[in-house]
Amino acid sequence: METGENKPQAFPNRFADAVGPVSPGPDRDRCRCVGYSVSTRPTRVSFHGDRQDTEAEGWRHLLALIEEAAADGRTVFKPFVELSGSERRQVVTLPSTIAKLTAVEHLVLYGTNLVRIPPEIAGMTSLQFFEPYTSHRLHWYPYELTRCARLTNSTVSTRVLYGNFKFRPPFPALRPVSDFRDTDLGTLDPGVWGADAIRSCSVCDGPIDHELRQVWISRLVGTDVLPLLVNACSAACVAALPEPDRGYIPTPHTGGPDITQPEIRRPG
């Protein structure tokens, strides 16, 4: 006979309503980019190079859902619940039109196939709760997320993050200074730059004309320390960055296998 002391405790699944319809096929691609322990972490990592198919049904459906949410001023947005499994797999980034969602306070991106979040998320000025939980291909976030000044709560799968404290996987190597005089900043390789277009500075929001400085910085956003990619227009903007969170690389850096990270933080 079970007593009150040893009776199994049931915990509610607060993401039960964040899962889309069951699909006969896979609704996302599996990813082990960063490994899952000290023994499985790789020496080098790189950005996912997936490009968004803007003709895909899933992309078009998501665009329509964003327009609906912007029009009705809803405060909770769970777009992937309304996409079929095949549609969910087709979406690897969010559209820049998420900047229209100025009333959304709670964004749920549970179990998606996303590999990047666009800097336009900074336009979601009412955002308080950010939940990309179990989106296991999201290894980093844009620095522009820090502009969501009301964001106080997050639920992120931290074990898949670059530089996470549990087993310190590496960061992709960045080029410290790049001259784009002869390059179209609107047609970049996301596997190299982390985006297919970079048009404005993550720090001052000014235009990036030809010089780009990319650095990593780990900062507390909501309730999680996230690896943030900074696209800066100048050395002055890099110098203006705040201090990284305690327990992580203490300065902005360019990643790669030669960067020394702090010791793994042991529980307890």
pLDDT in tens, 25-69: 788 999 999 999 999 999 999 999 999 999 999 999 999 999 999
Residue 9 counted as domain residue? no
Residue 165 counted as domain residue? yes
Residue 183 counted as domain residue? yes
Cα(47)–Cα(172) distance, integer angstroms:
7
Domain count for the chain = 1
Burial class (CB in 10 A: 0-12, 13-18, 19+), 110: buried
Residue 156 counted as domain residue? yes
Tokens 């964004």, located at residue: 107
What residue numbers bound the domain in which 169 lies?
Answer: 31-239
DSSP strands (E only) in the chain: 76-77, 106-108, 129-131, 141-142, 153-154, 178-179, 211-221, 224-232
Residue 92 counted as domain residue? yes
Question: Helices marked H in the chain — which ranges?
Answer: 57-72, 85-90, 190-193, 235-239
Cα(65)–Cα(48) distance, integer angstroms:
25
Percent of the chain with pLDDT over 70: 92
Residue 101 counted as domain residue? yes
Cα(117)–Cα(107) distance, integer angstroms:
12
Residue 210 counted as domain residue? yes
Residues 216 and 162 sit within 8 Å (Cβ to Cβ): yes
pLDDT at 124: 98
Cα(76)–Cα(17) distance, integer angstroms:
12
Residue 217 counted as domain residue? yes
pLDDT at 4: 53
**What mean pLDDT is predicted for residues 192-206?**
96
**What mean pLDDT is predicted for residues 156-184?**
92
Per-residue confidence at 159, pLDDT binned at 50, 70, 90?
Answer: very high
